[in-house]
Amino acid sequence: MELLERIQSETSPGIIMDPLKGFIKLSGRAIPNDAESTFRPVLDWMKEYIHQPQESTVFECEMDYFNTSSQKYMVDIFKMSNQLFKNGKQIKIVWKYSKEDDDMKLIGEQFQNLINFPIIFLEI
Banded pLDDT at 85 (limits 50, 70, 90)? very high
- In 3D space, the residue among 38, 99, 49 whose CA is nearest the CA of residue 73 turns out to be 38
Q: What is the pLDDT of residue 70?
A: 97
pLDDT of residue 16: 98
CB 110 within 8 A of CB 75: no
Q: What architecture is domain 4-123?
A: 2-Layer Sandwich (3.30)
CA–CA gap between residue 54 and residue 84 (Å, rounded): 10
Residue 76: per-residue pLDDT: 97
**Per-residue pLDDT tens over the stretch 23-64:** 999 999 999 999 999 999 999 999 999 999 999 999 999 999
Closest Cα partner for 60 from 113, 20, 13, 99? 13
The pLDDT value given to residue 117: 95
pLDDT for the residue 108: 97
Decide: pTM greater than 0.85.
Answer: yes
Give the rounded percent of residues in the chain with a pLDDT score beyond 90: 100
Average pLDDT score over residue span 90-118: 96
Taking only the tens place, the pLDDT of each residue in 105-123 is 999 999 999 999 999 999 9
pLDDT of residue 111: 97
